[in-house]
Structure 1
Amino acid sequence: MSEQYVPPAGTAARTVLARRCGAVVEARWFAVAVFALILANAALLGVETYSGLVAAWRPWLWLAEHVCLAAFTAEIALRLAAHADRPRDFLKDPWNLFDLAVVLCAFLPVVRENTTVLRLLRLARVLRTARFLPQLRVVLVAVARSLPGTLSFLLVGALLLYVYAMVGWVFFGRHDPGHYGSIGRAVLTLFLLMTLDGIGDAVHAGLDISRWSLLYYGSYVLLASFVLVNVLIGVVITSLEEAREMDGRGAVAPERADEERQRLLLRRVEAARRALAELEEELGREGLPHSPVSAAPPAGSAGASGVPIT
């Protein structure tokens, strides 16, 4: 007789704890409560910018901040407990890591003693609203995915600014030292002109110096304000589409997992049926009586011929 498998001690308790806490964490009211708590924390940050209100309500504001911290700590504890049977899954979610870091940093003595850092940390809690707003989450993921392309765009833009700044310093440095007297001033002038603000005045001032300034400013506006900006928009839009696809795959992943488990269960049942049919055929070839499993006599009892079936 084969030994029955006994799970490790504590596994069943962790599974029950994870199931119960998971039901709470995945509930609609829990998400609404945490979202409201984040908004309340943001409102407290805004109230603290008014010195009169802070002086009048300092004890209550202090109490409200500690209540928010206790609530956020309880929330992250529930999320950790919901993954008690699979802690690695908790660490695989970047949002869980972000929430855990924000809560744990609030208990560090260095952070609590520094008012500026503590306020910045409390401000970081507002970013957690993206966890409960799918569209905002998609935008943040798109921004993160567009960073490599954006860095390339910034490099190309910096090279373009430097080249045109050097050309502007050569042609306009002596005539317009206020804007092109040095490479730094030239870069600043061209950076401001990238928004097309004051481009008309710059062109008129350049025409008084040389007619070639029209070609200079025209080519710069074409490359900086149209080509580069459109390239940046294209990078962001592409990243946004990729983020939407990733979010969509994440949303349907649980349903696909359930379907896969059902298909696996059906395949196992079908394999068991085939094995049972082959066993009945083998018993039939040996001349032994057989019957369906549900009607089979207990082991050791006599069959139809009086011979015990083993």
Structure 2
Amino acid sequence: MTLSISLFQNQLKRIDSSKMFQGLVISVIIISALLIGAKTHDLPTQVITVLALLDMGITIFFAVEIVIRYLASDSKKQFFKNGWNIFDSLIVIGSLIPAGGSGVLLARLLRVFRVLRLVSMVPELRLLINALLKAIPRMGYIALLMFVIFYIYAAIGSILFSDINEFLWGDVSISLLTLFRVATFEDWTDVMYETMTVYSMSWIYYITFIFFTAFIFLNMMVGTVLEVMADEHEIERAKSHGESADGGEPASRAQIEQLQAQVLELKALITEKNKT
């Protein structure tokens, strides 16, 4: 009995790890995404019926696929320790909610999220998401500093320019929205020229603000994400080569030479102690 269960599990593992099965899952996810888009159009009744049957088939396929992955795992507890497995399970379970009655809107929304399963199925996309999630804490400090700069400039703008255009600079909260418009370069010159009619040197206010936000802080954000992505790529490379993947950086040549010198010194001390 145990042998038959083991053979069955090995067969499921081969199915789960096969490129053909992975490609089939990705294809069904793409079809599901196209199906969601098709339902937003005004279609004949016959087409809607066919799409409903196709959607039911996709839901059943995803349920079978997640069951195969669950049964193929060596440890059932370990299966749910993987965040991507939990994510896929929640999406599949949500898709099984009946689309009738008061749950129509909820069921349709959960079916939309099935498209996100493409992220969990493609390793490169998982790497990008993992890097983004790990970069969020570092980006949070940069965002906090950006908010401080935004708030200072918003207070200054509200004090100086509220009499010129109360709609744009009436208070700090409105000024923050205006500065966001400036930071995204959405017709920001119109805002600048309006204030320059009263304060001819107000261009300094906008240029310095754009310099801080668009050129410094946003580049710091990009640099943080790239740094974390480089670390993630190094971890994946270490795993693929069977090296330690504890997040440590590979030893440099100088570190290796230093370690070799320490070993030689230790060897010389041991030799000298043996002679005495």
Q: Do Structure 1 and Structure 2 share a fold, with TM-score over 0.5? A: yes
Report the AA paired with residue 127 of structure 1. L
Report the AA paired with residue 35 of structure 1. I
Question: Alpha carbons of 1:188 and 1:248: their partners in 2 closer, same or farther (altered >3 Å)?
Answer: same
Deviation, 1:233, is 0.9
Please name the residue that 1:287 is paired with.
Answer: none
* Higher Cα radius of gyration: 1
Q: Does the aligned pair in 1 maintain the 2:63–2:92 contact within 8 Å? A: yes
Match of 2:164, SS?
A: coil
Indicate which of 25, 31, 35 corresponds to 1:40: 31
% identical aligned pairs = 24
Please name the residue that 2:151 is paired with.
Answer: 162
Alpha-carbon distance between aligned partners in 2 of 1:167 and 1:225, rounded to the nearest angstrom? 19
Report the AA paired with residue 19 of structure 1. N
Task: Show CA shifts across 1:80-122 (max 9, x none).
Answer: 1112x42233223222211111112233469985222222222
Deviation, 1:39, is 1.1
- TM-score, normalising length from structure 1? 0.71
Deviation, 1:240, is 1.6
User: Matched residue pairs, number?
Assistant: 244
Indicate which of 70, 83, 91 corresponds to 1:80: 70
Deviation, 1:214, is 2.8
- TM-score, normalising length from structure 2? 0.79
Report the AA paired with residue 77 of structure 1. V
Please name the residue that 2:9 is paired with.
Answer: 18
Matched, 1:201 2:173: no
Gapped regions of structure 2 (runs ≥ 5) = 245-276
Matched, 1:235 2:229: no
Please name the residue that 2:42 is paired with.
Answer: 51
Report the AA paired with residue 179 of structure 1. L
Question: Alpha carbons of 1:227 and 1:189: their partners in 2 closer, same or farther (altered >3 Å)?
Answer: same
Gapped regions of structure 1 (runs ≥ 5) = 1-9, 257-310
Q: Does the aligned pair in 2 maintain the 1:161–1:190 contact within 8 Å? A: yes
Deviation, 1:124, is 1.7
Alpha-carbon distance between aligned partners in 1 of 2:111 and 2:124, rounded to the nearest angstrom? 23
Q: Does the aligned pair in 1 maintain the 2:158–2:169 contact within 8 Å? A: yes
Question: Alpha carbons of 1:230 and 1:146: their partners in 2 closer, same or farther (altered >3 Å)?
Answer: same
Question: Alpha carbons of 1:51 and 1:251: their partners in 2 closer, same or farther (altered >3 Å)?
Answer: farther
Report the AA paired with residue 125 of structure 1. R
User: RMSD across aligned C-alpha pairs, in angstroms?
Assistant: 2.4
Please name the residue that 1:217 is paired with.
Answer: 206
Q: Does the aligned pair in 2 maintain the 1:105–1:111 contact within 8 Å? A: no
Alpha-carbon distance between aligned partners in 2 of 1:251 and 1:140, rounded to the nearest angstrom? 19
Please name the residue that 2:163 is paired with.
Answer: 174
Alpha-carbon distance between aligned partners in 1 of 2:118 and 2:205, rounded to the nearest angstrom? 47
Report the AA paired with residue 71 of structure 1. F
Alpha-carbon distance between aligned partners in 2 of 1:231 and 1:144, rounded to the nearest angstrom? 16
Q: Does the aligned pair in 2 maintain the 1:207–1:214 contact within 8 Å? A: yes
Q: Does the aligned pair in 2 maintain the 1:111–1:117 contact within 8 Å? A: no
Indicate which of 152, 159, 167 corresponds to 2:141: 152
Question: Alpha carbons of 1:108 and 1:196: their partners in 2 closer, same or farther (altered >3 Å)?
Answer: closer
Matched, 1:28 2:19: yes
Deviation, 1:47, is 1.0
Question: Alpha carbons of 1:252 and 1:30: their partners in 2 closer, same or farther (altered >3 Å)?
Answer: farther
Matched, 1:100 2:73: no
Deviation, 1:203, is 3.0
Moved over 6 A (4+): none
Q: Does the aligned pair in 2 maintain the 1:112–1:118 contact within 8 Å? A: no
Alpha-carbon distance between aligned partners in 2 of 1:14 and 1:252, rounded to the nearest angstrom? 32
Please name the residue that 2:258 is paired with.
Answer: none
